[in-house]
């Protein structure tokens, strides 16, 4: 059985040709699934009945089950979705000034074990398939269709490490980009990574102008490896070189994420060290007030500290923003919703 939600229009055309149908039927199916959000062949009204039956015999359309939706402030909605093998997947819809952003998960659980993050607390179960990642966005879009609103931005910042599930993540982005589907420009897509250097290099050569976001969270190896075990394998210096390579190859500015954790990485000297690290580059820093996760023992920096930290970066002409705490009220610290559900 062919999982057709994960196919690009070209592959879908080849598939229908293999069933003895004309190629344009592939485009029709793609548009039913990705533009109209249809989950059943029976709803594809412009296909002959016999062909719909043939499709049902040979293939299937992955559709995640919507378990719950938690509404938060300012148009944020957190979706808890369920896979066919009863695993929970989180996706978040955020309303920014310019339109809707869909924040998607790429794995069930996570192997990276960052010490402040909830995503890996129940371990790693499996990669999501391209069709499952795609469907997260389609489930969000389902609620927007009646108001004729499109998804404007896609960020792979949910549960999981996208560069540890490289093919499926990129395939999903290519599907989102397809004109026959959502038609979202690559420039409006962001891949966030904890710093898997081979993946960053591969992405630099992929030929798609997405934004890369590097979860830095510390300016010294000492502090960073306490927060992020991956730093032992890929320390800061090499990571910064990989980010520079990405920028050079793609012409796309890299964003550095920095979660502010009280007394861990938020002192003035931490800020000055970050300035040193970034001064000769054109990266942008996104400061995230920590979403404290129960049991981790970390506390969010005070707002005075956050302002001081930001001002030090600003004074050094480093572009910096403080991310609005959109997720807090919907329990959106990464992986929190899923954990509550799994227990």
Active site residues: 90, 334
Is the CB of 32 or the CB of 298 nearer to ligand SAH? 298
Residue 136 binds to ligand SAH (criterion: CB under 6 A): no
What minimum distance in Å lies between the beta carbon of 87 and ligand SAH? Answer: 17
Site string for ligand SAH, 212-231 (x = CB under 6 A): ---x----------------
E strand or H helix at 152:
strand 151-156
Which range binds ligand SAH by CB under 6 A, 9-17, 39-47, 55-63, 188-196? Answer: 188-196
**Binding residues for ligand SAH restricted to 139-158, rule: CB under 6 A:** 157
How far apart (Å, rounded) are the C-alpha atoms in residues 309 and 189?
A: 28
Q: Cβ 243 to ligand SAH, closest distance in Å? A: 13
How far apart, in whole angstroms, are the C-alpha atoms of residue 18 and residue 34? 21
Closest separation in Å from C-beta 206 to ligand SAH: 17
**Which of the ranges 12-20, 129-137, 186-194, 239-247 carries the binding residues for ligand SAH, by CB under 6 A?**
186-194
Place of tokens 């070189």: 241
The pair of structure tokens assigned to 175 is 């599907």
Out of 192, 255, 265, 301, the residue judged to bind ligand SAH by CB under 6 A: 192
Nearer of residues 21 and 164 to ligand SAH, judged by Cβ = 164
| Inter-residue contact 293 to 336 (CB < 8 Å) | yes
DSSP 103: E
Give the strand order in the sheet containing 189-193.
65-71, 77-82, 88-96, 99-104, 151-156, 189-193, 211-215, 255-260, 284-289, 320-322
Q: Is 259 in the site for ligand SAH (CB under 6 A)?
A: yes
- Measured from the CB atom, the residue of 194 and 240 that comes closer to ligand SAH is 194
Determine the interface stretch with ligand SAH among 172-180, 198-206, 284-292, 312-320 (rule: CB under 6 A).
284-292
Find out whether 95 and 74 touch, Cβ atoms under 8 Å: yes
Q: Please give the residues from 75 up to 134 whose contact with ligand SAH meets the rule CB under 6 A.
A: 114, 116-117
Q: Does 333 bind ligand SAH (CB under 6 A)?
A: yes
Q: Which stretch binds ligand SAH (CB under 6 A): 83-91, 182-190, 192-200, 204-212?
A: 192-200
* Alpha helices (H) in the chain, listed in sequence order: 9-18, 24-34, 49-58, 130-145, 166-177, 197-204, 221-227, 230-233, 236-250, 268-278, 303-315, 336-342
CA gap 5, 41 in Å, rounded: 12
Which CB atom, from 223 or from 334, has the smaller least distance to ligand SAH? 334
Q: Is 135 in the site for ligand SAH (CB under 6 A)?
A: no
**Cβ(4)–Cβ(11) below 8 Å:** no
Q: Is 20 exposed, middle or buried (0-12, 13-18, 19+ CB in 10 A)?
A: exposed
Q: In terms of DSSP bridges, do strands 189-193 and 88-96 run parallel, antiparallel, or are they unpaired?
A: unpaired
Q: In angstroms, give the least distance from the CB of 254 to ligand SAH.
A: 12
Q: Which is nearer to ligand SAH, 41 or 116 (CB)?
A: 116
Q: Which two tokens stand for residue 105?
A: 């998960």
Nearer to ligand SAH, 31 or 301 (CB): 301
CB count, 10 Å around CB of 299? 12
Residue of 4, 104, 184, 288 interacting with ligand SAH (CB under 6 A): 288
Nearer to ligand SAH, 178 or 192 (CB): 192
Q: Which of 100, 242, 293, 320 binds ligand SAH (CB under 6 A)?
A: 293
Residues at the interface with ligand SAH (CB under 6 A): 114, 116-117, 157, 161, 192-194, 215, 257, 259, 288, 290-291, 293, 333-334
């Amino acid at each position: 059985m062919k999982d057709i939600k994960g196919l690009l229009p070209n592959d879908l055309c080849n598939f229908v040709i293999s069933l003895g149908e004309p190629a344009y039927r592939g485009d029709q199916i793609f548009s039913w699934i990705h533009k109209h959000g249809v989950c059943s062949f029976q709803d594809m009204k412009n296909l002959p009945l016999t062909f719909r039956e043939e499709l049902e015999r040979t293939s299937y359309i992955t559709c995640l089950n919507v378990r719950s939706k938690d509404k938060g402030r300012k148009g944020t909605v957190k979706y808890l979705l369920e896979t066919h093998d009863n695993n929970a997947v989180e996706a978040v819809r955020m309303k920014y000034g310019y339109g809707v952003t869909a924040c998607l998960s790429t794995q069930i659980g996570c192997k990276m074990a960052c010490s402040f993050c909830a995503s890996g607390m129940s371990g790693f179960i499996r990669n999501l398939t391209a069709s499952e990642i795609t469907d997260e966005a389609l489930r969000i879009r389902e609620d927007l269709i009646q108001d004729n609103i499109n998804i404007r931005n896609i960020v792979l910042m949910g549960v999981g490490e996208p560069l540890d599930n490289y093919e499926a993540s990129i395939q999903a982005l290519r599907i989102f980009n397809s004109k026959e589907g959502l038609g979202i420009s690559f420039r409006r897509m962001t891949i966030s990574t904890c710093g898997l250097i081979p993946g960053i290099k591969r992405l630099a050569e992929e030929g798609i102008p997405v934004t890369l976001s590097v979860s830095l969270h510390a300016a010294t190896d000492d502090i960073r490896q306490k927060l992020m075990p991956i730093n032992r394998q890929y320390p800061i210096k090499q990571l910064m070189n990989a980010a520079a390579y990405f920028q050079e190859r793609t012409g796309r500015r890299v964003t550095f994420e920095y979660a502010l954790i009280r007394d861990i990485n938020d002192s003035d000297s931490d800020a000055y060290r970050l300035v040193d690290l970034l001064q000769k580059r054109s990266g942008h820093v996104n400061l995230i007030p920590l979403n404290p996760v129960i049991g981790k023992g970390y506390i969010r920096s005070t707002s005075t500290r956050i302002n001081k930290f930001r001002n030090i970066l600003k004074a050094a002409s480093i572009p910096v923003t403080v991310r609005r705490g959109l997720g807090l009220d919907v329990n959106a610290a990464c992986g929190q919703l899923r954990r509550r559900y799994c227990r």
